[in-house]
Amino acid sequence: MSLLKSPLIGLKADSFRHPLDLEATKTLKQIPGLDMMVRNWLGPMAEQVFYVENIASSILVGEKQLPDLHKLLLDACKVLDIEPPQLYIRQHPAPNAYTFAMRGKQPFVVLHTSLVDILTPEEIQAVIAHELGHLKCDHSVYLTPVNLLVLAAGILPNVGAIVAQAIQAQLLEWVRCAEFTCDRAALLATQDPKAVMSVLMKLAGGSPTLAPQLNLDAFIDQARAYDDISKTELGEMVKSARTAQLTHPVPVLRAREIDRWASSQEYQTLLQSHGQKYTSEVAPKGGWRNW
């Protein structure tokens, strides 16, 4: 089984980076001492605690271990033109996926078993590609403190109560904007907006029994209803308060964003320009290479 789409040879991060990501990154760089905090405090802590703890408690995917998932990773990397990171599967009841990239360490992606259980192969590849987007865009400098502090809440005693205070509002705002960029990476890898939006729908309300029954069109209608809330001042205040301490935008908002970008000229031009490059540089004489 292969889900490989046309490789986007020479794909650059800035060619698909979401405008809100660019704006939030500029704001984040103005926070004094953030990079020093990552290097001198969070970096060593990650190496000694979280990095080792994850590797010791997860399954490393490879050619001889869950090879179908390994193939999904390699195919997504080919499309996004990025070196493959390590991929781990971790037993966990909360559907989630995350990425770590520390200096001097091979980057790795982690998928929770409960997430894999509710997704189709193409949806799993969309999740993997989303995480690859963080690596492609070099989000690790700012993403690492977020992941560390969130994971700390579940691993270290008494940390959960101070997590919200420890992560500055600007950091949370940035990571929410970065998620929009990585959803675009998921779309580029799968080249199927329905696969990406279906992942978001299942994250919002899926389970092994409910996931096959969910209706994507109804979920997209729900996203439009969420937009309608912004038409009143009170509704906008409620939305802002709801998202202020979240590390991800709400799923319906992410689905709306990917739906819009999938139908944009920017997305179509990106696929066409890199597809033409792929045809001329890689395809055998006489036509498109069949992956």
Which contiguous run of DSSP H or E holds residue 88? Answer: strand 86-90
Residues 129, 185: contact at Cβ < 8 Å? Answer: yes
Q: Is 141 exposed, middle or buried (0-12, 13-18, 19+ CB in 10 A)?
A: middle
Q: Cα–Cα distance between 86 and 107 in angstroms, integer?
A: 6
287: left (phi > 0), else alpha (psi -120 to 50), else beta?
left
Residues 95, 112: contact at Cβ < 8 Å? Answer: yes
Distance of CA 58 to CAs 17, 88, 132, 145, 150, Å? 31, 6, 19, 21, 18
Q: Cα–Cα distance between 1 and 11 in angstroms, integer?
A: 25
123, 131, 179, 257: the catalytic one is: 131
Residues 107, 101: contact at Cβ < 8 Å? Answer: yes
Partners of 89 in the β-ladder: 59, 111
**Structure-token pair, residue 287:** 């036509």
89: left (phi > 0), else alpha (psi -120 to 50), else beta?
beta
Burial state string for 188-215 with b = 16 or more CB within 10 A and e = fewer than 16: bbbbbbbbbbbbbbbbeebeeeebeebe
Q: Cα–Cα distance between 140 and 35 in angstroms, integer?
A: 11
Quick check: is 131 catalytic? yes
Q: Report, as residue numbers or ranges, the catalytic residues.
A: 131
